[in-house]
A and B are shown apart, each in its own frame.
Chain A
């Protein structure tokens, strides 16, 4: 008690000393601000005179360590350039925010197919890279794949996609083959169930995860899902126009859950990984990065992935998008330095490192996919057996609403209510 009183009296005395003089309150506030600001400004201006400092704004906190290695290599070659990686939560919002306040970072990660990127392009914020030498080492078909309106605004490095993560040890033990059709998948699930294991785990507590796989499933059965939804959004078509297919998708979604963990909406993405890693669940339909997460959680287990099978074996493809791509703002003071970094990251050696450590499917020339957990998916994607999930052109609001509506379907809402909800979410919502 005595001690604390002492601290308090010292603190109060200190305040009074600081606050001596009548208007001292304001003074001290201003001084604080002044000095903190001053220090910051001083620091940054000092640095810019010596070196070029580039902020690299990234949404990939999970691969930050690999990026740091690449950055380190780059800085050794270019001692005058300092790259600072920044991976804030909610990076997309941060990025748009920074653009709207004219404080864009010189280099940032993007999803070239996402509406958020289209928004940036609409306001003419991003530097065009069509025909630029930085794209030279990218496989030509993927240079085209990552175009927006026929032009390149981003350097694509790698693809990411969706598939079924499975416990290869268990499949071997139960003598199960990779299912080639949807019916075979259900049969495999039956067998796993009979063996006393949970066939599937679905991270349905996360509306964003649920949306991702649902959109992938929808796009698999409905090959023109992307243009169809675009028409609905533009008010040209209704959800009801393709009711049978959407119903079939919803029924599949529900059917798969019959083989899932009993507590559907209680399973988070983190817990789902652990369910697979500790051998309780056999299959997990989600992004490829989850295979590596399972591997990290249980290094002794053999984990692999297969593409989610379509109704017919020959229709099976993998849902893919460019997951790693870099872009830079249009009005940038240091375009050459940024391009240097983009090109460095696009060298075969670095792209190989990136692919090996993150398991992403590189689209850089000369890279071979070595990560065995998702090599099957990589081969399919690179052979062109890929498609875009239905949500490729949805706005973030639509994506969230769709995920939440699907949660409600799993929570017991009727199919009719679900279809009605989809109509509400999409019909004539182009702004």
Chain B
């Protein structure tokens, strides 16, 4: 604060006291608190991360050595990392599609004139307020005790045992939990979009003889594109960094079947004393996510502009 004041006085002294300058200086002050926090607690640690990734530090010893890009080469060669990459992508694709599709479907069902609308909305939004850790622990029990019983009754082999215990199905256990708890927010955002669709457009289209499917694609969907953008950005990032539910439910197992990148970084950095290596993994994944998100935003921005 002190610094800021002297800084300000200095600024004010140097810069002419004209109104416009003062204005722009005030604008600058508006950005200062956020910028300082961001530089101090986000950019700086990120740079530290890059530096650590070039060392062989175990996170504990008082000394460490710079080993250049060795960690990165090791990450490239690491089979476990490759598996985690594949798992993370597989998980993200399935979870995002399910979340968006179900959220949109529910929003369409809940939209418009139905009974108990407020009540139903509240129920459907409810999972969003619970912590994934708690939800994961509860579902652990459900997958162990309840689902197998249902599976046995229905005679479905795959369901008659704990789906978290099978390397092929454990991923779906995680997806179920994440969709269960992660559907509410996109649903509500879609609902908001739906309420912005002018009713007279629908009526006009109905008069013109459009069926409900046509109406959906030609009228409703264009209005939903901005919401789709927000939902995609949020859920793709959530998918690529999935962590809490894995800690609560599978610990990356069975074997290494459900190790996501985020979980692997945690395991390497926190449990296995490969601090430098884990930061290299995280930088690697940063580059990847940055690339994907860049494409995504570019593509979506184009759409949005076209729509407006």
Contact = CB atoms under 8 A, between A and B. Distances in A.
Given A99-B60, A119-B60, A411-B167, A265 B271 contact: no
A96 B59 contact: yes
Interface stretch (B102-110, B253-261, B279-287): B253-261
A265 B163 CA distance: 9
Interface string B259-281: 00000000110111110000000
A397 interface: yes
A262 B267 CA distance: 29
Nearest to B137: A270
Given A100-B59, A267-B162, A119 B273 contact: yes
Contact of B273 (A205, A397, A407, A411): A397
A384 B308 CA distance: 81
Nearest to B271: A396
B164 A26 contact: no
B62 interface: yes
A17 interface: no
A123 interface: yes
Contacts of B270: 90, 93
Nearest to B37: A29
Interface in B23-61: 26, 29-30, 32-34, 36-37, 56, 58-61
Interface string A82-123: 000000001011001101100000000000000000011011
A262 B148 CA distance: 12
B161 interface: yes
Nearest to A271: B144
A263 B254 CA distance: 12
B272 A396 contact: yes
Contact of A23 (B32, B167, B251, B254): B32
Interface in A1-58: 22-23, 25-27, 29-30
Contacts of B252: 207, 404
A266 B144 contact: yes
Contacts of A410: 254
Contact of B255 (A25, A119, A405, A431): A405
B160 to A, nearest CB: 8
A128 interface: no
Nearest to B26: A22
A127 interface: no
Interface string B133-165: 000000010011000100000000000011111
Nearest to B272: A397
Contacts of B144: 266-268, 271
A263 B8 CA distance: 68
A336 B280 CA distance: 43
B80 to A, nearest CB: 8
B6 to A, nearest CB: 12
Contact of B162 (A122, A266, A404): A266
Interface centre among B1, B34, B165 (most CB of A within 10 A): B165
A266 B33 contact: no
A123 B34 CA distance: 40
A315 interface: no
Interface string A261-277: 01111111001000000
Interface in A371-410: 395-397, 400, 404-405, 407-408, 410
B60 A29 contact: no
A267 B165 contact: yes
Contact of A205 (B29, B34, B162, B272): B162
A397 B30 CA distance: 47
A204 B26 CA distance: 62
A262 B161 contact: yes
B200 interface: no
A265 to B, nearest CB: 4
Given A22-B26, A100-B60, A407-B254, A395 B4 contact: no
A136 interface: no
A29 B33 contact: yes
Nearest to B251: A207
Given A207-B251, A407-B253, A407-B255, A400 B60 contact: no
B272 A395 contact: yes
A400 B267 contact: yes
A124 to B, nearest CB: 9
B166 interface: yes
Given A100-B60, A123-B61, A264 B33 contact: no
A411 B254 contact: yes
Contact of A404 (B164, B165, B256): B256
Contacts of A267: 144, 162, 165
A204 B254 CA distance: 8
Contacts of B33: 23, 25-26, 29
Contact of A408 (B148, B161, B251, B254): B254
Nearest to A24: B33
Given A263-B148, A266-B164, A396-B273, A205 B37 contact: no
A324 to B, nearest CB: 22
Interface string B191-215: 0000000000000000000000000
Contacts of A408: 167, 254-256
B164 to A, nearest CB: 6
Residue from the set A204, A206, A267, A404 with the largest chain B CB neighbour count within 10 Å: A404
A264 B165 contact: yes
Contacts of A120: 60
A130 to B, nearest CB: 24
Given A206-B251, A397-B268, A400-B271, 4 more contacts: A97-B59, A207-B251, A207-B255, A404-B255
Those 7 A-B pairs whose CB atoms lie nearest each other, nearest first? A266-B165, A266-B162, A397-B272, A263-B161, A265-B165, A408-B255, A265-B254
19 contacts: A22-B26, A23-B33, A26-B4, A26-B32, A27-B1, A29-B33, A90-B271, A92-B271, A96-B59, A99-B60, A119-B58, A119-B61, A205-B164, A396-B272, A397-B271, A397-B272, A405-B255, A411-B166, A411-B167
Interface of B: 1, 4, 8, 26, 29-30, 32-34, 36-37, 56, 58-62, 140, 143-144, 148, 161-167, 250-256, 267-268, 270-274
